[in-house]
Amino acid sequence: MITRMIVSALGDRGSLVFLGLLGVAALFVALSNLLLPPGSALHVPIHIVALLGKYVCYATLAVALDLVWGYCGILSLGHGAFFALGGYAMGMYLMRQVGTRGVYADPVLPDFMVFLNWKELPWFWHGFDSFPFSMLMVALVPGLLAFVFGWFAFRSRVTGVYLSIITQAMTYALMLAFFRNDMGFGGNNGLTDFKDIVGFNVQAQPTRIALFLISVAVLALTYAVARVLVTSTFGKVLVAIRDAESRARFLGYRVESYKLVVFVVSACMAGVAGALYVPQVGIINPGEFAPANSIEAVIWVAVGGRGTLTGAALGAVVVNAMKTTFTSGLLAPYWLFMLGGLFVLVTLALPKGIVGTLQGWFAKRGEAKRVETSEPSPPPEAPAAGKAESAS
Amino acid sequence: MTDALLDDAAQKEAAARKASAKGSVLYLDGVSVSFDGFRALNELSLVLAPGEMRAIIGPNGAGKTTMMDVITGKTRPDEGEVLFDGTHDLTMLDEAEIANLGIGRKFQKPTVFEFHTVADNIRLALKGPRTTRSALFGARNRIPDDAIDEVLSRVRLIEHRARPAGDLSHGQKQWLEIGMLLAQDPKLLLVDEPVAGMTDAETEDTAELLREIATRHSVVVVEHDMSFVRALGVKVTCLHEGSVLAEGRIDVVSADERVIEVYLGR
């Protein structure tokens, strides 16, 4: 039953192309870095591998966001918070691995605690010396926050722009909290100077390649889980809630349960993405909670095409590649204008985003072909103009 | 002394009402709702027998839609009693619980899931478990096509089953929504202005469809269109300013002077 669901969820052309391209690209990057000499034109230097790894983590965050926004209409402007919490959980593990190699060489306390004159580890830092426990926390902490937040928000029927505003407030509040030194998460500086991850040097080339490949695998897995969710009847109910929430309620669906489930799943996905992001960029600080980060994630999804999943991943990579290109050199001071302009342009010219527009184009061509080849047996149907994609 | 007599009379009246509540499918007693000082419903009382079809008429602002909102749990009454099947107190339940008890509702503006196909609209509406688990891996994923097609042929949309509901005409959307109600298989259907925006032929077909539905379900129809109400040929309740103005056969109600007055103005 479940295998059949997975096969039917991932057997469509979009999924096959996406997963195929992702796999080929990942193998190419890894092998080219390992096997080709640095002088070769096709050699991918290790700093680019790390950069691509970062993009892949962003793509995972974008898929998670698309699941709630594109399919259930929950425009979360605070998904960066779940990403950052997963990142902090990973950062705490990495800090505990430093051990006596820190500046103050304390076997238990991370450097910043010694610096603040703390004598013992705060209770919430216990357990993070264990890798399995930390990995559990990576998904559990964002999931728990999403559960508590969603429980109150969805039960009180907070929707639309009001929900967006309180998600924004949530990430902003967390940012302010994590900036405080006495929170016990390194304050302003955050967590950095990592040494090992499960015994391997985080800076070493093989570790970086492995982290990159694991990030790709997690993106593929996140995509697969999201696809299974949205192709099941569960996904149909989500879309029903997005387009006509009260209709779904009067049919007898517990709208708040559906929203809560998808919001928590999405938050866990975002947390895992954040956890893989941290060892690849080498630092996690409260800046990751900045509201602007969450808004940027929304732009990735909009550019790629919301409600498509593949588009979200593509949008994250495209926008971040542009960011990397344009934030260095001549155009650097104008990047934020370009980002804003891009959002306006996509909203006006490509309201369905890159992938959404392509899908519409393919669908139209497929229909035209069918009409040409088959007899005029299917009744001529009204053109799908003004199709029902609500803009909420 | 007089107090005691009054109490006695009140008790007797309450007992009589209780008795009428027992055999009813829907029982409203003294229901009042105010919005910012405006009394949308004013001590409204209404009893619907099992299997009965009732038409509710009344000018704009008479409280017809508010009454539907109270019955379906969208609006909580300030006071009064709302019972379903004589036992379930609807004022304590929310929309989903009430829907799952067996009350279906069609909105004034046709509300279907426009992004989904016609068949999927029915699939989501069909009676059965509606938990997240059943939708993920359970029974909701194993609904046979026959069950969907049966409903679609009843509302004459079978040829359109694969089309997105958003592509349907206004009248077809009204019918799809009625089809979704049928798929829910509720004991009581609340139908708000089913023929608004329909052609005369569609209106006639809809009246026929509703009469057919009424053979198996209790139905409350809210409608402005008098000729449609006439075509239904059922007991009529006229609301005005949140309470019942007149009740009875359509020719009796439409001949009532007070009814004529509220419809035509003073």
Which chain A residues touch B if contact means CB-CB below 8 Å?
A: 1-2, 5, 229, 232-234, 236-237, 239-240, 242-244, 246-255, 257-258, 261, 379, 381-382, 384, 386-390
- 3-state SS, chain A, equals CHHHHHHHHHCCHHHHHHHHHHHHHHHHHHHHHHHCCCCCCCCCCHHHHHHHHHHHHHHHHHHHHHHHHHHHCCCCCCHHHHHHHHHHHHHHHHHHHHHHHCCCCCCCCCHHHHHCCCCCCCHHHCCCCCHHHHHHHHHHHHHHHHHHHHHHHHHCCCCHHHHHHHHHHHHHHHHHHHHCHHHCCCHHHCEECCCEECCEECCCHHHHHHHHHHHHHHHHHHHHHHHHHHHCHHHHHHHHHHHCHHHHHHCCCCHHHHHHHHHHHHHHHHHHHHHHHHHHHCEECHHHHCHHHHHHHHHHHHHHCCCCCHHHHHHHHHHHHHHHHHCCCCCHHHHHHHHHHHHHHHHHHCCCHHHHHHHHHHHHHHHHHHHHHCCCCCCCCCCCCCCCCCCC
B181 touches chain A (CB under 8 A): no
A127-131, A382-386, B59-63: which is most confident = A127-131
A251/B137 touch (CB, cutoff 8 Å), yes or no: no
Best of B112, B132, B168 to substitute, by most chain A Cβ atoms within 10 angstroms, is B132
Q: What confidence tens digit (pLDDT) does each residue in A138-185 have?
A: 999 999 999 999 999 999 999 999 999 999 999 999 999 999 999 999
Q: Which of B112, B117, B19, B36 is nearest to B78 (CA)?
A: B36
Q: What confidence tens digit (pLDDT) does each residue in A55-83 have?
A: 999 999 999 999 999 999 999 999 999 99
Instruction: Please name the member of B72, B107, B114 whose beta carbon is closest to the beta carbon of A388.
Output: B114
Cβ proximity of A314 and A356 under 8 Å: no
Q: Element (H or E) spanning B257, and its range? A: helix B257-264
Q: Element (H or E) spanning B220, and its range? A: strand B218-222
- Other CB atoms within a 10 A radius of the CB of residue B97 amount to 15
Q: Report the pLDDT value the prediction gives residue B149, as an integer from 0 to 100.
A: 94
Mean pLDDT of A214-235: 96
For residue B164, give the DSSP letter.
B
- Give me the numbers of helices (H) and strands (E) for chain B, helices first please: 11, 10
Residue type, position A10, single letter:
L
Total CB pairs under 8 A between chain A and B: 102
A49-58, A328-337, B56-65: which is most confident = A49-58
Cβ proximity of B72 and A250 under 8 Å: yes
Instruction: Please name the member of A234, A251, A390 whose beta carbon is closest to the beta carbon of B125.
Output: A251
Q: Which of A92, A268, A276 is nearest to A184 (CA)?
A: A92
A1/B137 touch (CB, cutoff 8 Å), yes or no: yes
- For the B24-102+190-265 domain, the top CATH level (class) is alpha beta
Above 70 in pLDDT, residue B61?
yes
Q: Which residue of A has its CA nearest to B73?
A: A250
Cβ proximity of A79 and A238 under 8 Å: no
B8 touches chain A (CB under 8 A): no
Q: Report the pLDDT value the prediction gives residue B19, as an integer from 0 to 100.
A: 66
Tell me the average pLDDT of chain B.
88
Look at A299-308, A363-372, A376-385, B183-192 and tell me which has the smallest mean pLDDT.
A376-385
Q: Report the pLDDT value the prediction gives residue B16, as an integer from 0 to 100.
A: 65
Using pLDDT thresholds of 50, 70 and 90, give the confidence band for residue B6: low
Q: Which residue of B has its CA nearest to A240?
A: B113
pTM beyond 0.95, yes or no:
no
Write down the ipTM of this complex: 0.87
SS3 of B232, please? helix
Q: Which of B168, B235, B171 is nearest to B200 (CA)?
A: B171
Mean pLDDT of B201-224: 88
Q: How far apart are CA A307 and CA A92, in angstroms?
A: 34
CATH 3.40.50.300 intervals, chain B: 24-102+190-265
Q: Report the pLDDT value the prediction gives residue B232, as an integer from 0 to 100.
A: 87
Q: How far apart are CA A75 and CA A392, in angstroms?
A: 9
Token digits for A262?
């998808």
Above 50 in pLDDT, residue A382?
no
A386–chain B nearest CA distance, Å: 9
Q: Which of A188, A192, A363, A217 is nearest to A276 (CA)?
A: A217
